[in-house]
Structure 1
Amino acid sequence: MADSPIFLVGCQRSGTTMLRLVLDSHSRISCGPETRFLPDLRRIVDEKRDWPRLARFGFPREDWLRRIAGFFGGVHADYAAGRGKARWADKTPLYALSIDFVTEVFPDAQIVHVIRDARDVVVSHRKRFGYWSAVKCVVKWPRYIRTARAFGAQLPPEQYHELRYEEAVAQPDKTLRELFEFLGEEWEESVLEYADRSHDVADKYTVEADKRRAAAGTDAAIYASRVGTYRRELDPFLRLLVFLFSGPMLKELGYR
């Protein structure tokens, strides 16, 4: 499946941006900015939305799916070709809720689902988006995990791969080698130093990344100091909410 589209998904603030840059550093893979709009195109073929009206054009549903794939995939393919890359990937966390549609449009797509400890995800939401976002995250996180895993369970093993953020930063060489093996790509050591490569990211990301590395006292692109931040940064109220709403999924995933 070495030429299949790659979709990188997971609850926001789970490390998907880091993995996006890792993929984008590979000589064959291009992973550009988030698209976010693919689920909006679903309404075209949705029986409860636009399909009853659009079906009157006389084109079968499969034809509309082909046109959606041509448009969406064409944008990525042209972007990849312009950067000298042979294969494209899309990093959009939101697509964790739409893997069924993603694989309907792209039947050969490979899904990489990034999972991170809900407690650290909640902390990251509070820092990045504010307290109310952290409160909502305790419900959002298990919904993303549950939905993506349910869709993933219906796919063959060569199409769905789970990657734990904690393992990726603690053992990047091992974890990322396994990722590229799943993708059918040759291993390249340079992906571990993705920060040395040029990527199409907002300036604020580079500034934030530099600040985080400085705070961690490292100049490495991948580091583990953000694992377990909840132990010192999660207040009692958010801890209670996480226990009530995210606790069962944390237990199911083996987090202690």
Structure 2
Amino acid sequence: MTTNTKHELSFTEAKNKLGLVARVQRKLRTAGKQRVFVTPQPAASATPPIFIIGVHRSGTTLLRLVLDSHSRIAVPRESVFLLPLSEMWRDETALLGLSGLGFEADHVLYKLRELSDYFFNSYAAGRNKPRWADKSPQYVDCLDFIEKLYGPSCKYLFIYRNGLDVACSIGTRKVFKLAKPHQDACGDPFLGAARYWSAQCQKMLQFEQAHRARVFTLRYETFVHSPEAIARKLFEFIGEPWEPQVLEFHKQEHDTGFLEDPIASMSKGFQPSLKNYEKLPPELVQGMKREARGMLQQLEYEVE
């Protein structure tokens, strides 16, 4: 190979390298202007889920045990799983970051539902049941997210209980962080609990008014006095056949966990727990009524 030929090869190699560098630099300059858009693939349809919604100490555990006793429905103890997902969904920074990766809001929502379905469907399959329900009182604070996630495919069971009994139950607990802001504002655990109950019920009523066709409403007091009549209507609403063993939920096996109230979980049937607030000092009860009067009247509970 002659000297001139070597020089020509060196020049050609150098030119190619410079061309490669230029192409890489152009890619880097335009990278910020281009984004990949990922197209979600359609998911297989699932059996419509059910969500049990109610303020803490309102009978949600009782309702869970009844549904979990049905041969087709699996209801775990409180998972609170969707609440942190809803917080991520509301985080604009997180959504912008995912958008920068090419995942727009609809795709993110699709993947969050896919994640939720994976866990709950797997749980139901492990129980040899085709349908699942989720019971977490904290979901009162993320009903809008659940609706975005599942939309018209899901059904809601809303349970209400006399706010004075709810406040009495919450107030007797030393620590109840969800009601703490209201308790701190009132300077009393019972008055704050009554205010907390009222605020949570207001959220439920607003959602119920917007989605009446998919919300079944029941009262704890009526349920414990006429369980079969209410339960039959409930199962008809969610499209499941009637099974008498749901009324003997205490004779069925249920999964255990650590987030749910152990006393309620060990209930031996429909044992009414009513007007416990009457054991409190009269002046305290009057204060609780002042805090919750408007909602008590709206839900048609007697207020003296």
TM-score interval, normalised by the smaller of the two chains: 0.7 to 0.9
For the residue of structure 2 that corresponds to 1:50, the secondary structure is helix
The one-character-per-residue Cα deviations of 1:19-78 (angstroms, maximum 9, x if unpaired) are 001010000000002111312212333264522222211112111111111111211110
Per the alignment, residue 221 of structure 1 pairs with: 269
**Given the superposition, is the C-alpha separation of residues 191 and 7 from structure 1 closer, same or farther in structure 2, using an over 3 Å criterion?**
same
Per the alignment, residue 170 of structure 1 pairs with: 225
Matches within 5 A, 1:198-217: 198-202=253-257, 208=263
Per the alignment, residue 43 of structure 2 pairs with: none
Matches within 5 A, 1:120-135: 120-129=165-174, 133-135=189-191
Are the aligned partners of 1:97 and 1:148 in contact in 2 as well (CA < 8 Å)?
no
The one-character-per-residue Cα deviations of 1:120-173 (angstroms, maximum 9, x if unpaired) are 11122134456964342111101111101111211141x111110001001001
Matches within 5 A, 1:1-256: 3-46=47-90, 48-107=92-151, 108-129=153-174, 133-157=189-213, 159-202=214-257, 208=263, 221-224=269-272, 226-231=273-278, 233-256=279-302
Q: Give 1:9 shift.
A: 1.0
**TM-score relative to the length of structure 2:** 0.74
Are the aligned partners of 1:138 and 1:241 in contact in 2 as well (CA < 8 Å)?
no
* RMSD between aligned residues: 2.4
Equivalent residue letter for 1:25? S
Are the aligned partners of 2:77 and 2:259 in contact in 1 as well (CA < 8 Å)?
no
CA distance in 1, matches of 2:286, 2:137: 26
**Percent of pairs with identical residues:** 33
**TM-score relative to the length of structure 1:** 0.87
CA distance in 2, matches of 1:143, 1:238: 19
Are the aligned partners of 1:68 and 1:105 in contact in 2 as well (CA < 8 Å)?
yes
Q: Give 1:207 shift.
A: 6.5
Are the aligned partners of 2:162 and 2:296 in contact in 1 as well (CA < 8 Å)?
yes
What is the aligned length?
245
Equivalent residue letter for 1:148? M
For the residue of structure 2 that corresponds to 1:90, the secondary structure is strand
Are the aligned partners of 2:164 and 2:289 in contact in 1 as well (CA < 8 Å)?
no
Are the aligned partners of 1:8 and 1:112 in contact in 2 as well (CA < 8 Å)?
yes
CA distance in 1, matches of 2:53, 2:146: 11
Q: Give the stretch that moved more between structures: 122-131 or 13-22.
A: 122-131
**Given the superposition, is the C-alpha separation of residues 133 and 65 from structure 1 closer, same or farther in structure 2, using an over 3 Å criterion?**
farther
CA distance in 1, matches of 2:265, 2:93: 45
**Given the superposition, is the C-alpha separation of residues 142 and 60 from structure 1 closer, same or farther in structure 2, using an over 3 Å criterion?**
same
Q: Give the stretch that moved more between structures: 195-204 or 241-250.
A: 195-204
CA distance in 2, matches of 1:31, 1:210: 13
